[in-house]
C-alpha cells in the first residue's frame, strides 16, 4: 500500500510545481506579488522564531508584576489617593511606577513641594515595595507634558531646560537613597508626536537629562520608553539601561469605524520585539504600561460614561485577559495601567469585579 501513496504524493508535487511555474511565467506584476508573499511569510516565520527564542530564554526568570499609580488621577476619579495606595498594598501590590510631575512639585519658581511623593515612598517602604520613579517633563497621563503654569514649553528650550533639570536634580537627590527605589524612567514615550501637549522632541535634551541622572545616581538603572510598537529597536543616544514598551489591545477608533478596535498584534509579536532588542542591543525590555482600564469613546472621560459602556472595553473577563496577555509576551516586568480605575470601580461605582481579578493576580505573584 506504500507505493501508491508515494506515487500519489509525487503526482501532487509535480502538479503543484507545474502550477507554480505557470503562475510565475504570467507577468512581472505576478512575479512581484509572489516575491512579496514569500518575503512576508519568511519574515513572519523569522519574527515568530525570535519570539519563541525570547520566551524560552526568559521563562525561568521570576515575574515582577506591578502597577502605575498617579495620585492626581486617583483624585480626579473622586478617590482618596492615600486610601487607594493603601488598598493596592493590601491586595499584594509590591511594585509601583510613580510620577514626579514638575507641575506638582514646583508650582512657583523656587518653591518645592515633595509632600505627595514623600508619602508614596513612605508607604512603599513600609511594605518593602519597589518603585520605578518617572523623571522629566513628559510623564504618564494627560496632558503628557506636565509643566507648571509659569513655564512656557513652546518657547525655546534654553529658556526652561535649566529649570527642568534643576527640579529633576532635587527629585533624584531626595529619593536616590530610598531602599524602595529600584529604577528611574526618563520621560515617557519621548519621541511620540501627535498625542498630548508636548512640543519639544529634541534628542539633545533627552541626552542631557540622561547624563544628568546617571551623574547624580549611577547606581540605579534608567529606563527609556519606545515611542511606538513598530518593528525595529531604539537607535541613537542615549543608550538606556533598560527599554520599555506600552501595550494597548482595545481602543476606541474615532477616525474610521467609530467603534471599539482590537489591535491584531499577538503576544508573540511583543516577544519578538523584546527578543530583537536583546539580540542587537543586549538590553532588556519591560512593559511599562499594560492596558488595564477602560477606553472611553469619543474623547469622553471615564466618569462621563456608564458602567455598561466601560465594560465594552474592559470587563472583568477582559482584565483577566490583559494579565494573561502581558505574561504571554515573555517580558518579566509588567506594570499594569489603570490601578486607580480598579479602585474607582470598587469604591465609587460599587463594582468589585475588576478589583477581585487584580486581587487574585497579585496574590499569586
Residue given cell 518579566 in the structure block: 332
pLDDT at position 260 is 97
Strand 250-253 vs strand 259-262: parallel, antiparallel, or unpaired?
Answer: antiparallel
Q: Which helix (H) or strand (E) holds 31?
A: helix 28-58
Domain segments of the chain as ranges = 1-60, 62-364
Angle at 69 between CA 363 and CA 291, to 5 degrees: 75
Contact 69, 91 (CB under 8 A): no
3 state SS of 287? strand
pLDDT at position 23 is 67
First to last CA, the chain: 56
Contact 240, 234 (CB under 8 A): yes
Strands, E, within 121-199: which ranges?
A: 130-135, 181-186
Please spell the DSSP secondary structure of 180-197, one letter per residue. TEEEEEESSSTT--SSSS
DSSP-assigned beta bridge partners for residue 17: none
Contact 187, 225 (CB under 8 A): yes
- Give dist(CA 318, CA 342) in Å, integer: 13
CA distances from 113 to 4, 10, 203, 215, 253 (A): 85, 79, 29, 24, 39
3 state SS of 208? helix
By the 10 Å C-beta count (0-12 exposed, 13-18 middle, 19+ buried), 235 is classed as exposed
Cα Rg for the chain, rounded, in angstroms? 24
CA distances from 215 to 55, 127, 156, 211, 239 (A): 34, 29, 25, 6, 15
Q: pLDDT digit string (tens) for 72-101? A: 999 999 999 999 999 999 999 999 999 999
Per-residue pLDDT of the chain (365 residues; tens, 9 = 90+): 445 566 777 887 788 778 777 766 767 777 788 789 889 999 999 999 999 999 999 999 999 999 999 999 999 999 999 999 999 999 999 999 999 999 999 999 999 999 999 999 999 999 999 999 999 999 999 999 999 999 999 999 999 999 999 999 999 999 999 999 999 999 999 999 988 999 999 999 999 999 999 999 999 999 999 988 888 778 889 999 999 999 999 999 998 999 999 999 999 999 999 999 999 999 999 999 999 999 999 989 999 999 999 999 999 999 999 999 999 999 999 999 999 999 999 999 999 999 999 999 999 87
DSSP-assigned beta bridge partners for residue 130: 95
DSSP-assigned beta bridge partners for residue 260: 252
Angle at 207 between CA 204 and CA 211, to 5 degrees: 140
Torsion sign over Cα 116, 121, 124, 126: negative
3 state SS of 112? coil
CATH 3.20.20.80 fits 62-364, yes or no: yes
pLDDT at position 16 is 76
Q: Which helix (H) or strand (E) holds 253?
A: strand 250-253
Q: pLDDT digit string (tens) for 284-334? A: 999 999 999 999 999 899 999 999 999 999 999 999 999 999 999 999 999
pTM for the model: 0.92
pLDDT at position 300 is 94
pLDDT at position 1 is 45
Contact 196, 140 (CB under 8 A): no
Give the 3-state secondary structure percentages of the chain, helix then strand then coil, rounded to 5. 50, 15, 35
Amino acid at each position: 500500500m506504500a507505493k501508491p501513496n508515494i506515487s500519489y504524493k509525487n503526482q501532487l508535487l509535480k502538479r503543484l510545481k507545474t502550477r507554480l511555474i505557470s503562475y510565475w511565467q504570467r507577468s512581472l506584476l505576478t512575479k512581484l506579488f509572489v516575491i512579496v508573499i514569500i518575503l512576508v511569510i519568511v519574515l513572519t516565520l523569522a519574527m515568530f522564531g525570535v519570539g519563541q527564542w525570547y520566551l524560552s530564554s526568559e521563562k525561568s526568570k521570576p515575574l515582577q508584576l506591578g502597577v502605575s499609580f498617579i495620585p492626581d488621577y486617583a483624585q480626579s476619579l473622586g478617590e482618596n489617593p492615600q486610601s487607594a495606595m493603601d488598598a493596592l498594598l493590601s491586595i499584594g501590590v509590591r511594585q509601583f511606577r510613580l510620577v514626579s510631575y514638575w507641575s506638582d512639585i514646583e508650582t512657583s519658581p523656587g518653591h518645592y513641594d515633595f509632600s505627595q511623593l514623600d508619602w508614596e515612598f513612605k508607604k512603599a517602604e513600609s511594605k518593602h515595595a519597589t518603585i520605578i520613579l518617572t523623571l522629566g517633563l513628559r510623564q504618564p497621563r494627560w496632558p503628557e507634558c506636565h509643566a507648571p503654569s509659569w513655564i512656557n514649553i513652546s518657547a525655546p528650550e534654553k529658556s526652561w531646560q535649566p529649570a527642568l533639570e534643576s527640579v529633576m536634580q532635587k527629585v533624584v537627590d531626595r529619593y536616590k537613597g530610598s531602599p524602595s527605589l529600584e529604577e528611574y524612567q526618563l520621560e515617557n514615550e519621548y519621541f511620540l508626536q501627535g498625542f498630548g501637549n508636548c512640543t519639544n522632541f529634541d534628542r539633545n535634551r533627552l541626552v542631557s537629562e540622561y547624563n544628568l541622572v546617571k551623574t547624580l545616581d549611577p547606581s540605579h538603572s534608567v529606563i527609556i520608553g519606545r515611542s511606538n510598537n513598530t518593528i525595529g529597536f531604539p537607535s541613537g543616544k542615549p543608550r538606556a539601561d533598560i527599554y520599555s514598551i506600552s501595550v494597548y489591545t482595545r481602543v476606541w477608533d474615532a477616525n474610521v469605524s467609530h467603534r471599539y478596535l482590537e489591535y491584531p498584534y499577538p503576544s508573540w509579536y511583543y516577544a519578538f520585539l523584546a527578543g530583537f532588542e536583546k539580540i542587537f542591543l543586549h538590553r532588556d525590555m519591560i512593559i511599562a504600561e499594560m492596558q488595564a482600564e477602560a477606553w472611553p469613546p469619543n474623547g469622553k472621560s471615564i466618569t462621563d460614561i456608564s458602567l455598561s459602556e466601560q465594560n465594552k472595553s474592559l470587563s472583568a473577563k477582559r482584565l483577566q485577559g490583559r494579565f494573561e496577555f502581558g505574561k504571554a509576551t515573555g517580558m518579566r516586568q509588567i506594570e499594569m495601567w489603570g490601578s486607580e480605575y480598579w479602585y474607582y470601580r470598587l469604591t465609587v461605582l460599587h463594582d468589585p469585579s475588576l478589583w477581585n481579578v487584580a486581587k487574585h493576580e497579585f496574590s499569586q505573584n
